[in-house]
Chains A and B, each alone.
Chain A
Amino acid sequence: MEAITPDIIQAHQLTQEEYEKIVSILGREPTYTELGIFSVMWSEHCSYKSSRLHLKKLPTTGKHVLQGPGENAGVIDIGGGYAIAFKIESHNHPSFIEPFQGAATGVGGILRDIFTMGARPIAVMDSLRFGPLDDPQAGARNKRILEGVVSGIAHYGNCFGVPTVGGECVFEPGYNGNPLVNVFALGVFKTDEVFLARACGLGNPVIYVGAKTGRDGIHGASMASAEFTEESQQKRPNVQVGDPFLEKLLLEACLEAMRTGAIVGIQDMGAAGLTCSTCEMGSRGGTGIEIDLALVPQRETGMTPYEIMLSESQERMLLVAEKGREEEVFAVFRKWGLDAVAVGRVTNDGMMRVKNHGQVVAEIPSKQLADDAPLYDRPHTQPRRSAPMEGPDFRSVSLQQDLEALLASADICSKRWIWEQYDYMVRTNTTQGPGGDAAVVRIKETGASVAMALDGNGRYCALSPREGARLAVAECCRNLSVVGALPVAATNCLNFGNPERPEIMAQLVEAIEGMGEACRFFDTPITGGNVSLYNETLGEPIDPTPVIGVVGLLDTGAPLTTSFKYPGRAVLLLGGAGQCDLRRFGGTQYAKVVLRAMWGLPPELDLDYEKRVQEAMREIARAGLAESAHDLSDGGLAVAAAECSFGPAGVGVHLDLECDLRPEFLLFHEGPSRILVSTARPEEVRAIAARHGVEAPRVGDTIKNRLVIRNRGTVHVDRDVARLKELWSGALEKMLRA
């Protein structure tokens, strides 16, 4: 047996104190296999050791919540006897090293989290961040990563048969060396069909199902808990390889096996594979699990216990069945052509006991391994910030050209090139697909629909993590309200740099607090999520990027979309023109694209006003008064007006404003709490707004084929919609080909 030296401990990314804690838990030195087991379970990725203390500040309960954090996914009640399970996860590190497989297995992992609970996945969204495609040094690599990630997501989701219904994609230099791939999935099931990842019932068999175990992905969880260095490319073998076909079979077999009633508990093997599923199921069930590795189906010969326990081979599940009913479970998996083997049993001694051909190779108290990971209160100072507080003195040369530049810019331009590669319609539930403010998927069984959106803004958070996180929650809830959905719950993915640096830790703490405050305010408890730290390459951290996913409920019906439908309709700016000054303009897309600068603070958010705007919007949508609705976000009023004009009808707008803001701010500031609505019944819309104490000035009328923006008689923009649309819709492909 290999002796444990300080070098080995360090290679496992464990500190000396952590090692001593292991020794005290075991009452002896760990074996090499045990050291490996502790190292993955106590990695940042699995244990949340830097963030756990602060995650407790997030709201997690609410009237819709059936299951909060701690299981594979959160669950909320959607009425009619049905529930949805949903969660977001990151696959940032693997996607940088091997974009296609990294992203594909990211989709595979989150899908398993959903159907492990018994829910059938019905929607996926993804939140992506890349370095700029025209970056002088990294541009070519960024293009390759984007193409790889998108085709990886498409490959896995399309074959599995889950629609990818929406998401977001942003380009910033901070992601040059560290792209972000966050994948959200949502599934539906009956409220009495929820399965938990618990090992219960002394003597019950522990059954391994799905793909065989190979040497892929060993230490994936630890890799995801370290910064990138120049040698990171050598970690390519740490990235797993996905097989969506196998996952589809696993889905159908698991759901069918669950219906037999013979399954007691089930957990997927994701990060830290067999290790994580065994000890967590035992820990949650208050039991122990004993397995023999000789029984584990293996793809390669000569695998050591260490390798088998740490493998992250994909498409595998561990389940506990009722003793005596194993054959019912085996029969289902046989039907689907999958391996299903009893590898152990549930014990009552609280130990995770791993044998190899009958010989014990690891024996660890499950609870301490799973739940007693080190907890760090890492020092945090002021959030890292490189942008100045004061902005430059600038004046636009041509607002019309500024608008064209924004429409053709990477963040704002159409992402059709991306989402057309995703099957966003399979399962015939997508009433509102990609390209809208929120995606809407109907639940065939109940007559209700679920709306969902993802939002995050690294620029805002770089200026103020607290305000940026609040703004992300507000925008996400607004996106849902725009389609008439009531936001009810949320999931988060917290992407940050190295938490051991106090100024990065401060970003994390402030973002969590801001997110918690806003989620509490909007009554959208966070039922689960993911923290991804150490997003740094060669010491350069990403912008702090908390991403929020909010789900909401509405009645099934024809969707309210962003595009203007008919000319001659009134256009109202629900929420009003808003306020802005130079300092609050520094995080805008205008500052980024036109001025190539960043300064100051993110737009100011009044939570109370935001909530009233959203309530008014939902009431307007439900009453069927709006023909179109689109929230103002990146690029402000002018960009929103243009986007509303890009629908199939070719209807534009003549905005005729009476506002004292300077024109650059009026057209392009990104103040929240604003929604552009077109309606044939403006008085009724205004009456609803007034009842909620919300401004809703009539700012113009829809017209055929043109976009005109005028303020106090001065025409700032007058353009053909078709011309603008061409710039907007072709920009991404143009950048990729350049």
Chain B
Amino acid sequence: MRFGVVVFPGSNCDHDAWYAVSHNLGQPAEFIWHDSATLGNVDAVILPGGFSYGDYLRCGAIAKFSRVMQAVRKFAAEGGLVLGICNGFQILVESGLLPGALIRNRGLKFICRPATLRTETIHSPFTREAGKGSLLTIPIAHGEGCYYADDRTLDELEAEDRVAFRYVDNPNGSLRDIAGILSRERNVLGLMPHPERASDPLMGSVDGLALFRSMVSSMAVR
């Protein structure tokens, strides 16, 4: 499975995501420049963490206008797998590929720590290998990761089984403890925690590999 990792000016987890899928997972992976009109020959796209375009205005608000995001929208509409991590999640909600918004952490401070996530659904190409209800230790590192949406949207996400992960110990005030959500077609996942930081035994956890492995195995059965 060929992964493409988008590089925006200000992305800073691009290399980490690339390293996780190429070195820890052993899949081919390449970088895609933000100015690119096409995604090339990739099977899945990762929007990595960081501070795209400095995150001025609002996190992800400028990235949504980048040329590559037009290609990502098209790719997603055609059923391609899109994984947005942290800033990537913020870009996905700003772009309208996922509902809701990510606002300042309840404590108003940046938080970096390992978080425990509960896998809420295994019916997705990103979680099929994780095991329903399984607990994953995956770090968070964000200042604006509080997931927010109106009640109707939240009800809808739950009714459609689109909440992929919840925090066991909510660190940032996210409504209904939501850490990651799926698109209606289930081929787009956005989450605040960083699975690429939990893909190497040296980093203290390999639970993040479950996501990447799920993507690979879902590709095989497509």
Chain A: residues with CB nearer than 8 A to chain B? 151, 154, 158-161, 243-246, 248-249, 336-337, 419-428, 430-431, 442, 444, 556-558
Contacts and interface: CB of A to CB of B under 8 A. Distances in A.
Contacts of A336: 9
B211 to A, nearest CB: 15
A444 B54 CA distance: 27
B197 A425 contact: yes
Among B19, B54, B199: residue with most chain A CB under 10 A: B54
What are the 5 closest A-B residue pairs judged by CB atoms, nearest first?
A: A161-B12, A245-B54, A423-B141, A159-B51, A428-B16
A442 B56 CA distance: 32
A159 B54 contact: yes
B23 to A, nearest CB: 8
A310 to B, nearest CB: 27
B43 interface: no
B111 A421 contact: yes
Contacts of A421: 109-112
B12 A428 contact: no
Nearest to A246: B54
A427 B18 CA distance: 11
Contacts of B16: 426-428
A431 B202 contact: yes
B10 A248 contact: yes
A1 B202 CA distance: 64
B54 A158 contact: no
B30 interface: no
B200 A248 contact: no
Given A425-B112, A425-B203, 10 more contacts: A154-B110, A158-B51, A158-B110, A159-B10, A159-B12, A159-B51, A420-B112, A426-B49, A428-B203, A442-B202
Contacts of B201: 558
B110 A428 contact: no
B119 to A, nearest CB: 22
A428 B19 contact: yes
B13 interface: yes
A337 B9 contact: yes
A337 B34 CA distance: 12
B9 A249 contact: yes
Given A421-B110, A431-B202, A426 B141 contact: yes
B139 interface: yes
Among A159, A160, A424: residue with most chain B CB under 10 A: A159
B111 A426 contact: no
Contacts of B143: 158
Contacts of B194: 425
Interface in B12-66: 12-13, 15-16, 19-20, 49-51, 53-56
Nearest to B112: A423
Contact of B200 (A151, A243, A424, A428): A428
A428 B20 contact: yes
Given A425-B112, A425-B197, A428-B196, A245 B56 contact: yes
Contact of A425 (B19, B20, B55, B139): B139
The A interface, classified by DSSP as helix, strand, loop or mixed, is loop
Given A243-B54, A245-B53, A431-B202, A161 B13 contact: yes
Nearest to B11: A161
Among A245, A422, A428: residue with most chain B CB under 10 A: A428
Contact of B51 (A245, A431, A557): A245
The B interface, classified by DSSP as helix, strand, loop or mixed, is mixed
Interface in B165-222: 194, 196-197, 199-203
Interface residues of B, number: 31
Nearest to A338: B9
B8 to A, nearest CB: 11
B74 interface: no
B2 interface: no
B37 to A, nearest CB: 16
Contacts of B123: none
Interface in B91-137: 109-113
A585 to B, nearest CB: 37
B13 A444 contact: no
B12 A426 contact: yes
Given A423-B112, A425-B141, A558 B202 contact: yes
A336 B11 CA distance: 12
Contact of A420 (B13, B55, B111, B202): B111
B200 A423 contact: no
A48 to B, nearest CB: 34
B202 A556 contact: yes
A332 B16 CA distance: 23
A589 B86 CA distance: 41
Contacts of A426: 12-13, 16, 49, 141
B142 to A, nearest CB: 9
B116 to A, nearest CB: 12
B156 to A, nearest CB: 33
Contacts of B203: 425, 428, 430-431
A500 B109 CA distance: 42
B9 A160 contact: no
Contacts of A428: 16, 19-20, 196-197, 199-200, 203
Contacts of B55: 159, 245
A337 B19 CA distance: 26
Contacts of B202: 431, 442, 556-558
Contacts of B15: 427
A420 B113 contact: yes
A439 to B, nearest CB: 14
Contact of A249 (B10, B20, B110, B113): B10
Contacts of A151: 109-110
A425 B112 CA distance: 8
B135 to A, nearest CB: 15
17 contacts: A154-B110, A158-B141, A159-B12, A161-B12, A161-B50, A243-B54, A245-B53, A245-B56, A246-B54, A337-B9, A420-B112, A421-B111, A422-B112, A423-B141, A427-B15, A428-B199, A556-B202
A353 to B, nearest CB: 36
Contacts of A161: 12-13, 50-51
Among A160, A425, A427, A430: residue with most chain B CB under 10 A: A425
A304 to B, nearest CB: 30
A556 B109 CA distance: 32
A100 to B, nearest CB: 13
Contacts of A160: 12
B82 to A, nearest CB: 22
A304 B194 CA distance: 48
Contact of B110 (A337, A423, A427, A558): A423
A558 to B, nearest CB: 7
Nearest to A251: B12
Contacts of B19: 428, 444
A424 B50 contact: no
A151 B13 CA distance: 21
A472 B199 CA distance: 37
Contacts of B110: 151, 154, 158, 421-423
A120 to B, nearest CB: 10
B220 to A, nearest CB: 26
Contacts of B49: 426
A424 B12 contact: no
Nearest to A164: B112
Contacts of A556: 202
Nearest to B203: A428
